[in-house]
Amino acid sequence: MYDKQSPIMKHLENSHGIRNPNKKRRQTGEKRAIMGVESDVEDLDVEEADNSQVQHQLEEPHVVDKGQIRYNCARTVLVLGRPFSDINHEVFHDLIAACHREAEKLLPSRQTVQRDVISLHKQGINVVRNLLQRSLTNCHLSFDLWTSPNLHSYLVVIAHWVSENYQLRQCAIALKHLDGRHTGDNIGGLVMDVARQYGIVPNLGCFILDNAWNNDSSMNVICEASPDPVFDKVERRLRCIAHIWHIALKALLLGNARNSTNAMAFDQEFGLGDAEEEDEDNDGDVTNTSDDGETLVENLEILIRRAHRNRRLRNRFLQLKLDEGPGSIVESHGEWDEVGQAVPRMPKLGSKTRWDGYFKMIQTALPQRRRIGALVMSEGQSSLTKLLPDANGWEALQQFLAIAQPFYVRTQEVQAQTATIDMVLPAFDSLYNTLPDQNKIRLTEFMTTRILRCRQKLNLYRDRLENETPLYILAVVFDPRKKLGYFRKDRSDARLSAIKKRLDNIWRKFVAASSEVTPANIAEWRIYMEEPVVENISNCLTWWSSMIERFPLLAKLAFYVLSIPASSAEAERCFSRYLCLHSSLMYSAKRMISKERNRLGHDSAEAIAIVKNWYGHQIFLHEYAYASELFEE
């Protein structure tokens, strides 16, 4: 019945002690060689005994835990991102039956598995609620809207806090379906429903959001239901820094901000209307230029896209025999042919929604510029020739790549799960200083104009962030390696005096809102500011955790500020294609809520996405003992 090499029989023999009836013992073979025919009779008796033992073990297995089977079926659906109906598939039943016949009879239905996943979600809500209520800080939220491939709108809400052991924690707490229009009232009302579900309405802190207009109006609803005694609704509404840099890089890449819808909307949000744009363009520093830079990038993107979609062009590009020349690099992704030459790969496609899509496209196209040119020339089509950059165009793209590289690195840093807002202003200043000076480096004409505009935007947005909310400045001051001395480098005396006055006012509000304050607590801010900076610190939260006895009240404010994330990237990760939190949690909401799963209910979609996120953030582990009571009949 079973092949002697089958994995099933190896599992039965190694894990359950059930031996393969077709497997002969070496000792019986040796006896046969020595004792002759009589040993064959003994051999048959041994084999019959083994066969009867195997049959008895297969028919009378050990006791099967039904709760464990149900839990692992629910876990299989969660980890592999499979439909609930796969549990009832005959192939899955045959696999379980081959391992254990009684276990196959206890497999739950898809409806039961669906109920178990939702039960795990409900149980996890209690766990996360307890974690949030025991946190050392207020709960900061980041949320974002997303439209699934099957055209359903979802709002994901991420919680950020400091745990009892002074560690930054974050996890998704809701993936709610949004009915109706994407207005601020609907978004704010849905966020407050989630806050009431977790019991964190009185402890809501700041909100890290992108620059959509409806996020501003949603703050009116949220802050009205959950006011803060220290910070008002404008100060509590923080902006995703990665999105601001995206706008600045679009200005660098595509030139005039009016050519970019997102940049124009962001300028209007910061109070920059068309009249102010005209003043900037005509003030002698930045002049109107042609759309050569925008056309250059877009033409390259069209050319690469055509090569990707046309099989003949794609094959010709990969099969071109071309001497790449000294110093050139082929984007090979580590593949090499028989003679040690790098195998070419197609350049990546650009994305109009994110600047780093264009960055990666240029990064992979520049090393293969000669191959791209040879492909266009071999086709001899004027439509393709017009899209090919000339020598000056390739030089401009090379300059953009060098300028944008620090932005790309900084964007990856602020989107990390441990990145907090104390990194924001230093990163702004660093990127501003990395922009090349046209008097020192030879730049193409339209790159010079775009660098000036990018420099203006970075300086303008940084000042606006400092004026809107003091939390960015306060985060730098709470870094014991910087303190207020960081701002003495490039801020005027008047500006520095205004910063001091504003920070002192925040401290007075925080003391007034605190209970059981002593005169020693009131002096903590002055003592901390007068002390010199502390070098050789790797983690600010760790340092402040060691200062609790000395600065008990000031440490609470430091934990509040230093637990605010620098960007809303965690909300984006829930919608991205893959999750990087756990090696086995491969599929995200984008892969789960798809056109192929139109029957998936909103409650089930939320349960799957949120529980997977909790497993990735180690809110609770894959332990059956934890959920054994949940699956008892």
Model confidence pLDDT, tens digit, residues 590-612: 666 666 676 777 888 888 888 88
391: left (phi over 0), alpha (psi -120 to 50) or beta: alpha
pLDDT in tens, 195-210: 999 999 999 999 999 8
In a domain, 408, yes or no: yes
Q: Is the same domain home to 212 and 314?
A: no
211 and 170: one domain?
yes
Residue 624 has pLDDT above 50, yes or no: no
What's the N-to-C CA distance of the chain in angstroms? Answer: 36
pLDDT exceeds 60 at position 549: yes
Least confident window among 140-144, 322-326, 464-468: 322-326
Q: Structural domain of residue 302, as residue ranges?
A: 248-450
Q: Name the residue with tokens 């086709």.
A: 379
- 511 or 321, which is more confident? 511
150 and 261 inside one domain? no
Q: Are residues 305 and 343 in the same domain?
A: yes
* Domain identity same for 351 and 301: yes
At residue 34, the pLDDT reads 35
Report pLDDT for 301. 86
Q: Higher confidence at residue 322 or residue 412?
A: 412
Q: Encoding tokens for residue 465?
A: 């962030």
Residues 332 and 409 in one domain: yes
How far is Cα 322 from Cα 329, in angstroms, rounded to an integer? 12
Query: Tell me, what amino acid is at 528?
Result: Y
pLDDT above 90: residue 559: yes
**Among 541, 562, 583, where does a domain finish?**
562
Task: Tell me, yes or no, whether 519 and 591 share the same domain.
Answer: no
Q: What is the pLDDT of residue 14?
A: 61
- 475 and 422 Cβ atoms separated by less than 8 Å: yes
Q: Residue 493 carries which side chain, given as an amino acid letter?
A: D
Q: Residues 113, 74: contact at Cβ < 8 Å?
A: yes
240-266 tens-digit pLDDT: 888 888 888 877 776 543 444 443 443
Side chain identity at 202, as an amino acid letter?
Answer: P
Lowest mean pLDDT among 183-192, 368-377, 497-506, 522-531: 368-377
Residues 6+ apart with CB under 8 A from 508: none
Q: Categorize the per-residue pLDDT at 584 as very low, low, confident or very high, splitting at 50, 70 and 90.
A: very low
Mean pLDDT, residues 206-230: 90
431 part of a folded domain = yes
Closest Cα partner for 507 from 544, 547, 551? 551
Pick the closest to residue 104 from 69, 58, 53 (CA basis). 69
Instruction: Specify the pLDDT at position 394.
Output: 87
Identify whether 459 is part of a domain: no
Is residue 345 included in any domain, yes or no?
yes
Give percent above pLDDT 70 in the chain. 72
My answer on whether 196 and 138 are in the same domain is yes
The pLDDT, as a whole number, for residue 236 is 93
The more confident residue out of 195 and 72 is: 195
Please check the confidence at residue 188 and state whether its pLDDT lies above 70. Answer: yes
Q: Is the model's pLDDT at 33 over the cut of 50?
A: no
Tens of pLDDT along 263-273? 344 344 444 33
The verdict on 421 and 358 lying in the same domain is yes
Confidence at residue 591, expressed as pLDDT on a 0 to 100 scale: 63
Of residues 296 and 122, the one with the higher pLDDT is 122
Residue 55 covered by a domain: yes
Q: Indicate whether 281 and 394 sit together in one domain.
A: yes
- Contacts by residues 392-397 (CB-CB < 8 Å, ≥ 24 positions apart): 392/444, 393/296, 394/366, 394/369, 395/444, 396/293, 396/296, 396/444, 396/446, 396/447, 397/296, 397/297, 397/300, 397/362, 397/365, 397/366
Let me know whether 256 and 216 are in one domain.
Answer: no
Q: Tell me what the mean pLDDT of segment 545-549 comes to.
A: 92
Mean pLDDT, to the nearest integer, of 117-145? 90
Q: Is the pLDDT of residue 447 over 80?
A: no
Asked whether residue 91 is domain-assigned, the answer is no
Question: Strands across the sheet with 204-209, in order?
Answer: 168-177, 153-162, 139-147, 204-209, 237-239
The β-bridge relationship of strands 237-239 and 153-162 is unpaired
Do residue 231 and residue 259 come from a single domain? Answer: no
Q: Which of 36, 59, 82 is the last residue of a domain?
A: 59
Q: Tell whether 125 is covered by a domain.
A: yes
Q: Is residue 111 part of a domain?
A: no
For residue 256, which of 282, 219, 218, 222 has the smallest C-alpha distance? 282
Mean pLDDT, rounded, of the chain: 77
Q: What span, in angstroms and rounded, lies between the C-alpha atoms of 285 and 282? A: 8
Final residue of a domain: which of 520, 539, 562? 562
If one counts the domains in the chain, the total is 4
Q: What is the DSSP string of 148-189?
A: -TTS-EEEEEEEEEE-TTS-EEEEEEEEEE--S---HHHHHH
Tokens coding 185: 């009232």
